[in-house]
Structure 1
Amino acid sequence: MSLLKDSNSTLLFPNLFPDQFKTHHGTVYVYFEAATVILTLVLLGQLLEAKAHGKTNSAIKELLKLSPSNAIRIRDGKESTVNIDEIIKGDLLRIKPGEKIPVDGSIIEGEAVIDESMITGEPVPVEKTKGDQVRSGTINGNRTFLMLAEKVGSETLLAQIIEMVNNASRSKAPIQKLADRISGYFVPIVVLISVLTFVLWAIYGPDPALVYALVNAIAVLIIACPCALGLATPMSVMVGVGKGAQLGILFKNAEALEKMNAIDTLVIDKTGTLTEGKPSVEKVVSTTGELNEAEILQRIVSLNKNSEHPLAEATIRYGIVQKVSASPVTDFESVTGKGVTARMAGEQLSLGNKKLMEKIGAAISPEVENSVNLEQKKGKTVSYLAIGKQVAGFIVISDQIKPSSSSAIKSLQKEGLEVIMFTGDNEYTAKAVSESLKLNGFKAQMLPEDKFSEIRKLQEAGRKVAMAGDGINDAPALSQADIGIAMGTGTDVAIQSSALTLINGDLGGIWKAKALSRKVMSNIRGNLFFALGYNILGIPIAAGALYPVFGILLSPMLAALAMSLSSVSVILNSLRLKK
C-alpha cells in the first residue's frame, strides 16, 4: 500500500523527489505493477488462509450435522412428523431403521443396535433394550423402537458437546501467553529494523542509495508478519479440541488440553470408573434369628428407594426380581461416604459400611465380620443393615471390572503415569481390585474430604495429578486435581467439576487424551518455531543481508508472497492433527 501511495506521489509531484529517484529522462520511478502484485499476493494469502482456517473447525460442523431436523411423534395413538424444536419432555417418539435419534431419552418398547461412534469415538455398535438410554445424534440400526424424550434442546448430550467444543476452541492455552508476549515486542522491533535498514542503506548503499534504502525498508515491513505468530496456538487448539470430540474426549478449555501433557499421576475412583458401575446383588444374609432374608431385603430396598448411589439401584432391581416392595420411610439421610439412615414403621434403620456402624454405635460380632471379610477379599462390596444399634444382616454386591480397564491402565503406566485408586470401599475389596489390575497403589475407606486432602498432598510433593471419577462424592477431588476427568456415564455434578469428560466412560480415553495433548503441544511448538524461524530468517534477507556476499536483494513482491505463505503454513501444520 505504501508503494501505491509513493507511485501516486511520483506521478503527481515528481519534483519533490531527490535526483536518485529519477531516471535519466528526469522522470520518477513508479511502482504500480509492484503495488498491484503485492496486494494480489496478500489477498491470495488471505484466501488460502481462510480456506485452511475453515477446515480447522470441521469437527464442530460435523457435530452440527448429526442432529436431525425432524422426528416422528406419537400422540393419542396418531403419528406425525414434527420439527425437533417442537419435541418436549415426555413425548413418545418412533425411531425407524437408519434414522438419527433426535433427542436424549430411553427405550420403552423394542430393541435396537445403535451406532454411537460419532459421539463416543467407538466404532462397534451398541445393543440397546427396554430401559436403556439413547442419545441425540446417534444412528439407529435395522430395527424400529419407541423412545421417551427425556432431554431436549440444549439439555441433550450432543448440544452440550457442541457447546463445550465451541468454548474450548475459543479459550486460550497458557502457552498462548508466551506468543502474546513475543508479539508485543515484535512490532516495535520490526519498525526499528526497518528504520535502521533505511538509514544503513542510505549511508553505505550503492547508488541510487536512497532507492535501495526505501525498497529494502518496505520489504522488511512486508515480510515481517505477526499473523503466523498469532495463529500458532489457537489453530492447534481448535483442531485438537475438535479431534478430541471425535474420539469421545471433551476438553472444557485449552488450559486442560495443555495441562494434560504434564500429568504424571492418575488417581481413579473404583465404582463406575474401574468397574462397570452396574453392580448386582449376589445374596442377602440375616445375622439374627428374628428376621429372614426377605425381611432384611425389604428394609434395605425401603432405605435405598431414596438414594442415587449405583449400589442402591442394584438393591432396588434385586428387590423387584424377588418381588419385594418398598415401604415408606421418614427422616432419610445420606451420610456421604458411609451409607444411609432413615426411620421405617418405628424402626431406626442404618445401611452402610463399617464406618457407619461405628458412627451409630452398632457392634459387629466377630463371626459376622469374618463372613464379611471373606466376601470382601473376593473383591465384593458388603453393606451392613442395622436396626437401632444391632446389626441385623448384610447384603453382598459385586461390580464387574470393565474389560477395558486392565489394558488402559497398562497403556497409561507405559506412558510413565503412576496409577493409584482411591475408594470408599473397604480395604479387602480395594486390595483385590488393585492386585487384579496391577495398580501402583490404593487407599481404601476414603471419604470425599480424604480424597481431596490426599490429592493436595500429592500436589504439594510436586506431582501433577489427574483425578478420574463419576460420582457426587468425587466432585471435591475432581476440582482439586490439576485435571479432573469425569466419566460421561456419571453424574452431572462430577462432569461440571471436571476439566475433561470421557463420553463413553472408558479409561482408555485418558490414554487417548494424554496422547492428544502431547501431539497438540508438539504441534504448537512446531508452529511457534515456524513463525519465529520464518521471521528470523526472512527479516535479515529482506533488509539486504545477502547483498554484500551474493548480490541478492529481496523484492517486496516476493516478501509479500512469503508473508502470505507463512500464515498458511502454520494452519496446514495444525491440520496435521486431524490425522
Structure 2
Amino acid sequence: MNKNTEKHYACPMGCEGDKKYTNPGNCPVCHMHLVEISELKKKETEKSDCPHCAHENVGDGKPIKTSGEYYCPMHCEGEKTYDKPGDCPVCGMHLLKEQVVQTPPKPAIFTCPMHTDILESQSGNCPICGMDLIAVTSSVKSEEDSAYQNMLKKFWIAIIFSLPVFIIAMSEFFPFLQLESVASKKFWGWIEFILATPVVIYCSGDFFKRGWNSIRRWSPNMWTLISLGVGSAYLFSVIGLIFPDLFPAQFKENGNVHLYFEAAAVILSLVLLGQVMELRAHSQTNSAIKALLGLVPPVARLVENGEEREIPLEDVHVGNLLKVKPGEKIPVDGVIVQGTAIIDESMITGEPMPVDKEKGHKVTAGTINGQTAFEFKAEKVGSDTLLAQIIDMVNKASRSRAPIQKLADIVAKYFVQIVISISILTFVVWAVWGPEPAYVYAFVNAVAVMIIACPCALGLATPMSIMVGTGRGAQAGVLVKDARAIEEMNKVDTLIIDKTGTITEGKPSLNNFQSFGDLSDLMVLSLAASVDYNSEHPLAASIVAGARERNLDLLKIESFESLSGKGVKAVYNGNQIGLGNDRLLDSFKLELTSDQRKLVEDWQSQGQTVMYLILDNRVEGVVSVSDRIKKTSASAIKSLQAKGIKVYMLTGDNQLTAKAVAKELGLDGFVADCLPEDKYNKVKALQEQGHIVAMAGDGINDAPALELANVGIAMGTGTDIAMQSAEITLVKGDLTGIARARNLSEKVMRNIKQNLFFAFIYNSLGIPVAAGILYPFFGLLLSPIIAAAAMSFSSVSVISNALRLRGVKNI
C-alpha cells in the first residue's frame, strides 16, 4: 500500500498518547476498539457520550483539560487526572497523587535541641540555655501511606478470619482436631460463613467493584477472574448452606453440600497480600521527591541593614542578601558577594571533589558549605532553583513510566473469556437436555465451572516466585524493591552508568606522589601530609590518610596558614613550606621544568588532582589525589558487554578524566560535564529509540535518570535518595551485581511462567468434569474432592516450584 494512502488507527481514549497503529483492533491498554485517525478528527468537534460512564455531551470540540491531583499509574485514559483519590475506573489500579514541586512548608514551631519542651512560633534563642532554636517540621501522612495502611489493616483482618476457616475446612485431613465430635458439620458450616463473610464483603469489596467494571467495559483481567470465581464459590456455598435441598445428590456428602468458604477467604487473603505489596511500592514512589525537598533548610538567614535574622524559606525573594555559616546547607541559588567557601556540590555533579568558591561564583540550593561563612545574593528561589528542577524531573519520570501489565492479567484475559463461554454453554445444555430439575442442574453445573476455574494458586504464582527470588537475590547482594524491575531487567539492552561511586570508589584518596629534587618520594608525602594536617580542606584528609597507611610520621609544622583558593603554607625547620595548586606556584613566582610539566599533565589527563610541594622557594615534588576505579569495574563491564548490553558512562566530571576512564574500561561511549537534566534526557532519548535502558548511579544528581529508566539500579554505598529512586539496590556497590540482577531476572521470570502453568492446568482439566461431560457416560458430576484436589495440587506445585529458586546457582 502506498504510504500516502495507508490508514492509521488510534485509541479513542488516548491511552498511549499519540501512538498510532497500522492495523485495526483493540487498544492493548483499555481494550476499546481502535478508530481510524481521520474519524477521530471528525469526532473531535462533535459531542458524544463518555464510553466509560455513559455521561452525555462529553467534548465540545476542544481537548479535555483536567486539573485534578490524582492519576492512574497505567495512564489508561492518557493524561487524565481526577479530583479525588480512589481506583482507576478503567483498570481498577489505585490512583496516585501527583507531587507538586514547591518550597517546604513554613515550620509551625521552633524548639531547643537541649530543651525540647521549649516551643516557640518564631526563631530565636532558648530562654533556658541560650542555644539557637531549630525548626520543627510537621510530619503529615501522605495519601499513599494512608491507602497502604488501610489495605494492610484489611489484610490482617482477612488473615485473622481466614485461618480458622481454613482449619475448619481442612479438619478432615487432621483427625486429631475431631471437630465433628464437638458439633455437626452444619454448625461448622455456619461458623465458616460468619468468618468468611467479613473477608469477602469488608476486606475485599473493592475487588468485586473492579471485577464488575472490567465486565461492564468488557476488558477481562485478573479482577474479572477473581470476582467471578470467588463470587461463585461464596454464593454457591451460601445457597448450599441455607438451601441444601436444591442440590442434586452428587453435590452432597452425608446430606451436606460441600462448601467453598475457605477457598474464597484464602484466595482473597492472598490477593490482599499482593495489593499490600503493590501499595507499599506506590507509597514509596514519591519518597525520593520528599527526600529531595528535605535537602533545603526550612529557613534562611537574611542580612538586612547589617543585621541578621532567620526567615522562612518561602519568604526569600530574588535579590535578598543571605548569609551561610560553616556546615550549613545553602537555601537558594545565588552568587557570592562576600567571603570564600569550599562547597560540597556532589549532589549536583556527583563528583566527590569539593569546589573552591569566591566572590562572583554561583552557589546552588541544597549544597553544603564548608568551614567558612559567606554572604550571597539570591538569584533563583522556589521552583526556579536547580534543586526544584531536579525534583520536577523526578516527578515527571515517575509519572511517565507506566507499570507493565502483569503476566497474570494477560493469561486471565483469555482464560476468563473461555471460562464464561463454557459456563454459559453448560447452563444452556443442562437447561435444554438435562434431567429434572433441569434448571437446578444447569445452575449448579454452570457455577461449578466458575468454581473449578478459579485458580487458588493464581494469588501465589507471582508473589511466591518474587518472594523467594528476591530473597535469593538479597543473599547475593541484589535488593529488589519493585517486582516490575525483575521482568524488565531481563529485556535490558543498554546500560548507563555514572562514574563517581559506581565505576569509581566515590571518594578522593591518595593516588601518586613523586620527588622533583633531593628529597625521597616518601619524604615528599610526609611533608605534604604534615602541612595538610591542620587544613580543613576535604582533600587534605585523603593525603594525611595516605601517609598514615604507609606508616609515615607527621613532622612538626609551625605558623600554619590557609590560603583560600590556593592551598596552605607554614614553616618547617625555619623554612617556608607550601602545598597547593597552580595559583600557589604563581604566588611563590615559581615555574615547572618541561619534564615536570609533562608529568603533571599526564596525571591530570588521568583525572588526578595535582598539588605541588614547595620548600624554601623550590618545587620539591608533587602529590596527587583522585577517585580510583574499583577493582571489579573492568571485569563487570566486560561481562555485561558479552551479554550484548551496550555500556555508556555519563558523568559530571571533566572531559579529560571521563575520556581516560572510558578508554581504560573499553566503554561503548561516554558523555562528560553532565548535569542531572543531561542524564535524564539521554535516558529519554535512548528509550525513544526503542531501547530498554537500565541506569546505575549512586548520587542525588542521578535520581531523575534512575526514576525514568526502565530499571533504576542504585549503589548501596550511595545516597538514600538514589536508592529511593531506584528499583534495585546493589548492597556492595559493585557493578558485578548488575550481572547478578540480570541472571536473577531470567530465572525468576521463567519460574513465574511455570507457576502460572501450574496455577491453571489442574483447574483447567477439571472444567470439563464440572461442565458434566462425564455425566452421560458414568453419571458423574463434579466431586467436591476433585475441586479440593485441583486447588491443593496447584498450590502445592506453585509453592514447590518457587522454592526451587532458593538453590539456584550463578546469581
Please show how residues 61-72 of structure 1 align to structure 2 within 5 Å: none
Compared with structure 1, are the counterparts of its residues 282 and 9 closer, same or farther at alpha carbon in structure 2 (3 Å cutoff)?
closer
Q: What's the counterpart of residue 375 of structure 1? A: 603
Report the Cα distance in structure 2 between the residues aligned to 1:522 and 1:443, rounded to whole angstroms. 36
Please show how residues 452-471 of structure 1 align to structure 2 within 5 Å: 452-471=680-699
Q: How many Å apart are 1:35 and its aligned residue?
A: 4.7
Compared with structure 1, are the counterparts of its residues 34 and 263 closer, same or farther at alpha carbon in structure 2 (3 Å cutoff)?
farther
SS of 2:496 mapped into structure 1: strand
Q: How many Å apart are 1:200 and its aligned residue?
A: 1.0
- Cα shift readout 1:123-147 (whole Å, capped 9, x = no counterpart): xxxxxxxxxxxxxxxxxxxxxxxxx
Please show how residues 501-540 of structure 1 align to structure 2 within 5 Å: 501-540=729-768
Report the Cα distance in structure 2 between the residues aligned to 1:29 and 1:318, rounded to whole angstroms. 84
Q: How many Å apart are 1:30 and its aligned residue?
A: 7.9
- Cα shift readout 1:96-130 (whole Å, capped 9, x = no counterpart): xxxxxxxxxxxxxxxxxxxxxxxxxxxxxxxxxxx
Q: What's the counterpart of residue 554 of structure 2? A: 323
Give the AA of the match of 1:283. F
SS of 2:458 mapped into structure 1: helix
Please show how residues 250-399 of structure 1 align to structure 2 within 5 Å: 250-277=479-506, 279-283=509-513, 305-307=536-538, 313-318=541-546, 323=554, 341=565, 370-376=598-604, 379=606, 381-383=608-610, 395-397=623-625
Q: What's the counterpart of residue 301 of structure 2? A: none
Q: How many Å apart are 1:430 and its aligned residue?
A: 4.1
Q: How many Å apart are 1:205 and its aligned residue?
A: 3.5
CA contact 2:715–2:729 (8 Å) conserved in 1: yes
Q: What's the counterpart of residue 152 of structure 1? A: none
Q: How many Å apart are 1:526 and its aligned residue?
A: 2.7
Report the Cα distance in structure 2 between the residues aligned to 1:315 and 1:483, rounded to whole angstroms. 38
Q: How many Å apart are 1:250 and its aligned residue?
A: 1.4
- Cα shift readout 1:489-533 (whole Å, capped 9, x = no counterpart): 234343344332211122111111111122222222333343345
Q: What's the counterpart of residue 33 of structure 1? A: 254
- Cα shift readout 1:210-269 (whole Å, capped 9, x = no counterpart): 675455335313312143333332222222222222221112222333332222112223
CA contact 2:647–2:668 (8 Å) conserved in 1: yes
2:639 pairs with 1:408: no
Compared with structure 1, are the counterparts of its residues 201 and 330 closer, same or farther at alpha carbon in structure 2 (3 Å cutoff)?
farther
Bigger drift between 505-514 and 494-503 goes to: 494-503
Compared with structure 1, are the counterparts of its residues 177 and 285 closer, same or farther at alpha carbon in structure 2 (3 Å cutoff)?
same
Number of aligned positions between the proteins: 413
CA contact 2:525–2:547 (8 Å) conserved in 1: no
Q: How many Å apart are 1:472 and its aligned residue?
A: 4.8
Q: What's the counterpart of residue 714 of structure 2? A: 486
Q: What's the counterpart of residue 135 of structure 1? A: none
Report the Cα distance in structure 1 between the residues aligned to 2:729 and 2:757, rounded to whole angstroms. 31
Compared with structure 1, are the counterparts of its residues 323 and 540 closer, same or farther at alpha carbon in structure 2 (3 Å cutoff)?
same
SS of 2:640 mapped into structure 1: helix
CA contact 2:650–2:674 (8 Å) conserved in 1: yes
2:788 pairs with 1:544: no
Give the AA of the match of 1:281. N
Identity %: 49
SS of 2:503 mapped into structure 1: coil
Gaps of 5+ in 1: 12-16, 22-27, 58-172, 332-340, 355-362
Aligned-pair Cα RMSD in Å: 5.1
Q: What's the TM-score, normalizing by structure 1?
A: 0.56
Compared with structure 1, are the counterparts of its residues 548 and 301 closer, same or farther at alpha carbon in structure 2 (3 Å cutoff)?
farther
Report the Cα distance in structure 1 between the residues aligned to 2:511 and 2:757, rounded to whole angstroms. 58
Q: What's the counterpart of residue 498 of structure 1? A: 726
Give the AA of the match of 2:482. N
Q: What's the counterpart of residue 647 of structure 2? A: 419
2:650 pairs with 1:440: no
Q: What's the counterpart of residue 359 of structure 1? A: none
SS of 1:227 mapped into structure 2: coil
Q: What's the counterpart of residue 83 of structure 1? A: none
Gaps of 5+ in 2: 1-188, 190-235, 278-401, 518-523, 570-577, 584-590
The higher-RCO structure (CA 8 Å, 6+ apart) is 1
Compared with structure 1, are the counterparts of its residues 274 and 534 closer, same or farther at alpha carbon in structure 2 (3 Å cutoff)?
same
Report the Cα distance in structure 2 between the residues aligned to 1:457 and 1:7, rounded to whole angstroms. 61
SS of 2:667 mapped into structure 1: coil
Q: How many Å apart are 1:562 and its aligned residue?
A: 0.9
Q: Which is helix-richer, 1 or 2? A: 1
Report the Cα distance in structure 2 between the residues aligned to 1:497 and 1:285, rounded to whole angstroms. 46
Give the AA of the match of 1:238. M
CA contact 2:240–2:257 (8 Å) conserved in 1: no
Q: What's the counterpart of residue 233 of structure 1? A: 462
Report the Cα distance in structure 1 between the residues aligned to 2:639 and 2:525, rounded to whole angstroms. 44
Report the Cα distance in structure 2 between the residues aligned to 1:480 and 1:299, rounded to whole angstroms. 46
Give the AA of the match of 2:503. L
Q: What's the counterpart of residue 560 of structure 1? A: 788
Please show how residues 91-130 of structure 1 align to structure 2 within 5 Å: none
Q: How many Å apart are 1:369 and its aligned residue?
A: 6.0
Compared with structure 1, are the counterparts of its residues 38 and 493 closer, same or farther at alpha carbon in structure 2 (3 Å cutoff)?
closer
Q: What's the counterpart of residue 70 of structure 2? A: none
Compared with structure 1, are the counterparts of its residues 406 and 319 closer, same or farther at alpha carbon in structure 2 (3 Å cutoff)?
closer
Q: How many Å apart are 1:437 and its aligned residue?
A: 3.2
